[in-house]
Amino acid sequence: MFTDHPTKDVTLWQQAASFAAFKHRHQLRKDQRTPYVSHPFRVAMTIRQVFDCNDAEILAAALMHDLIEDTTTDYDDLLKKFGKSIADLVAAMTKNMALPEAPREAQYDQGLAKADWRARLIKLGDTYDNLCDSMASPEASVPVEKAADKARRAIELAAGDTAAHPASARAVAALTAVLKSAGARMSRVEHQP
C-alpha cells in the first residue's frame, strides 16, 4: 500500500498501469488484434480527461477494473499490493462469470448500486469506452446496441451520484451525449435500404 509515499498519487497510478499491463499482457480485445490493456487504459484516460477526475485511487482502480474478472488476479492480490479501497472498487466492477448472463447482469447492477460512488464512476468510464469503441469499429468487442444498453444502465445507476459528485455529473453528461450519437447512428442504419 502507498499511504506513506511522498509521491503517492503518481506512484499509485504508475504502479497500477504497470500491474494491469503485466496481467493483461497476453490478452486481446475481441477483434483479436488490439491489446486488451488498451481498454482499461482508455477508461482511466476517459475518467481523467473527459470526466475531469484526478483522484489517484479512482484512476488506479480504473486501470485495473477488469483484473479479477479477466485474469488470475484475485481480491487478495489487489488488497496486498494496493489496499482495501482500490481492491473494493475493482471487486465492485467484477461480474460473477459462473452465472448465466441475465442473473449475472442483475447481480452486478445490484452490487454496483450498493458500492462506493467511485465504482459507478468507473463503470461510466467503462461503458463510455465500450460504446465509443463499438461505434468506431465494426469488429468492436461489444455491438453498438449492447454497448448502448449497458451505457443506459450505467447512467441509471449513477443518477443519484450527480448532485454530490461533480465528476459523476460530467460523466453522465458525456455518456449521454455519446449515447445520443449512437442512437442517431443506429437509427440511420435501421432506415437504410
Partnered with residue 35 across adjacent β-strands are 28
139 is catalytic: no
CA distance 176 to 155: 8
Of 52, 55, 57, 70, the catalytic one is 70
DSSP string, 77-107: HHHHHH-HHHHHHHHHT---TTS-HHHHHHH
Of 9, 55, 69, 149, the catalytic one is 69
CA distance 12 to 26: 23
129 is catalytic: no
List CB contacts of 185: < 8 A, sequence separation 6 or more.
135, 144
The answer to whether 51 touches 125, Cβ cutoff 8 Å, is yes
The set of catalytic residues is 69-70
